[in-house]
Amino acid sequence: MFVGFDYGSSNCAMGVMNAQNAVELVPLEQGKHYLPSTLYTHHSALVVDFVAQHLMGTAFEQDFKSQRQALLNSMVRIKSDLDLAAGEESLFIGREAISEYVQFPEEGYFVKSPKSFFGATGLKQGQINFFEDIATAMILKIKQRAEASLQYALTQTVIGRPVNFQAVGGEESNQQALGILERAAKRAGFKDVAFLYEPLAAGIDYESDLQQDQKVLVIDIGGGTSDCSFVQMGPSFRNSNERDQDFLAHTGKRIGGNDLDIALSYHALMPLLGLGSKFKSGLPLPNQPFWQACKINDVNLQSQFYSQQHARELLTQLREVEAPELFQRLLDLQQNKQGHQLVQQGEAAKIALSSATEFNCELGFLAPQLNKVLSRDDLALAVDDAIMQIVSLAKQAIKEAGAVPDVIYLTGGSAQSPLIKAALVEHLGNIKMVNGDHFGSVTAGLTKWASMLYC
């Protein structure tokens, strides 16, 4: 059976067609349809071990083991060092991963939005292999949960993809990311794997109810990427399996909801850790370590920030800063691996400030009773650059299509932000806007496309 699979930067979801030929989202975690794109394990090597255990007896086993043999040889020692009992759960995804990370931030390996890394330039083969293993482990666990809920096996899938996985790297980055996802999905048990642009998937869902043809600019602002597709839609187009000629333009960039969270955390919360303060000499502190701490979707910056060498550098700087009580918080965050927790507060503030005028960020994990009240003005100032990049993508898509859209269809978790809508109106004019399902539009479109491909 087939499934539409939104392996998103913020959340994952799966959809199937029910007996009434309508899309139905599959419960993936505690009865919920959306599973946060997070993974936590007590040691990064346990991801490799988990995948190897699953691949035993399959056509992938020998090739996988030969590529990961050095790591697999160390598993007995690693499990002994961790004092893991036989059969003890050591790999968590979704909300369980977040819960484990919050309880034991310094003791394990936590990754949020792994899809954001798949197109990164300059990755060595070992890093690519590891991202394949993370994706395989997550897809495998999600697939198992879906199959347990549906009571039948899933063998075919259409997976959503952004227009571009990276702002740099071009098609080479895209092919690297797609290769990671395809190999992971097949190792997880899918025999047939196809991909569809996420904004197009969202548009397909919208098109289902159209009574007349329209030119639609689909703006999909996901967790890790923002994509725009200018598409001809309606009764004249929707029954065709070949839609390439209907897609008038695509634009996309690796900037999304996660980047808004990071920007707000950096600009509004990092001053509590010393951003903007000075050395005793009067020189300003460098911004780089504060940015590295927040940039949770950049594997290289995170590796640099949490390295032992960087810890020694921060400790040396602590003796020279004007406000050591603030800078000590940055050092504690580095030692305890709490960057994700900080950005989670930024994310919570971003979501709340879409409807509220203020939000109180709780930062007690850095210092007792520490908090910071953020306002909509704080949010607007922090995310202005990111929003303007999204507006530029929309303008570029309209220019490439050579037409004015009849409607703008907004989907994705951050697309409902009043700041983004106001910016689009200001720069694109008074074009009708339609709100899609914040998360479900892409999954629904992927499922409908899977139905056309595999039925």
pLDDT tens track for 236-258: 988 777 777 888 998 888 888 88
Distances (CA, A) of 177 to 48, 141, 210, 274, 392: 19, 20, 33, 36, 24
Q: How many CB atoms lie under 10 A from the CB of residue 248? A: 19
Give per-residue pLDDT as tens, 84-133. 877 778 899 999 998 888 777 767 888 888 998 899 888 899 999 999 99
Asked if 35 contacts 28 with a C-beta cutoff of 8 angstroms, the reply is yes
**Residue 418 CA to chain centroid, in angstroms?**
22
Spatial separation of the C-alpha atoms in residues 341 and 337, rounded to whole Å: 9
Say if domain 212-255+387-434 classifies as CATH 3.30.420.40. yes
Read off the pLDDT of residues 330-385 as tens digits, 9 standing for 90 and up. Answer: 999 999 989 999 999 999 999 999 889 999 999 999 999 999 999 999 999 999 99
Confidence of residue 301 (pLDDT cuts 50, 70, 90): confident
Whether 89 and 18 have beta carbons less than 8 Å apart is answered as no
Question: pLDDT by residue (tens digit) across 23-70?
Answer: 999 999 989 999 999 999 989 899 999 999 999 999 999 999 999 998
DSSP 8-state secondary structure symbol assigned to residue 4: E
Confidence check: pLDDT of 438 > 70 = no
Helix ranges restricted to H, 353-417: 376-401
Tokens found for residue 9: 């930067």
What pLDDT sits at residue 45? 92
Under the banding of pLDDT at 50, 70 and 90, the label for residue 167 is low
Task: Give pLDDT tens digits for 258-295.
Answer: 899 999 999 999 999 999 999 999 999 999 999 999 99
- Select from 3.40.50.280, 3.30.420.40, 3.40.50.720, 3.50.50.100 the CATH code of 2-198: 3.30.420.40
Single out the residue of 332, 329, 350, 360 nearest to residue 414, CA to CA: 350
Angstrom distances, CA of residue 433 to CA of 51, 135, 243, 380, 437: 44, 35, 23, 21, 13
Same fold, 2-198 and 212-255+387-434: yes
Average pLDDT over residues 199-213: 87
- Strand (E) or helix (H) holding 40: strand 38-41
What is the model's pLDDT at position 189?
Answer: 96
For 178-183, what is the mean pLDDT? 97
Closest CA to 158 of 55, 33, 10, 15: 15
Helices (H) and strands (E) in the chain, counts: 16, 16
> How would residue 169 be classed by pLDDT, with cut points 50, 70 and 90?
low
0.85 exceeded by pTM: no
Q: Where are the domains of the chain?
A: 2-198, 212-255+387-434, 258-382
Q: What is the mean pLDDT of the chain?
A: 91
Q: What is the pLDDT of residue 238?
A: 83
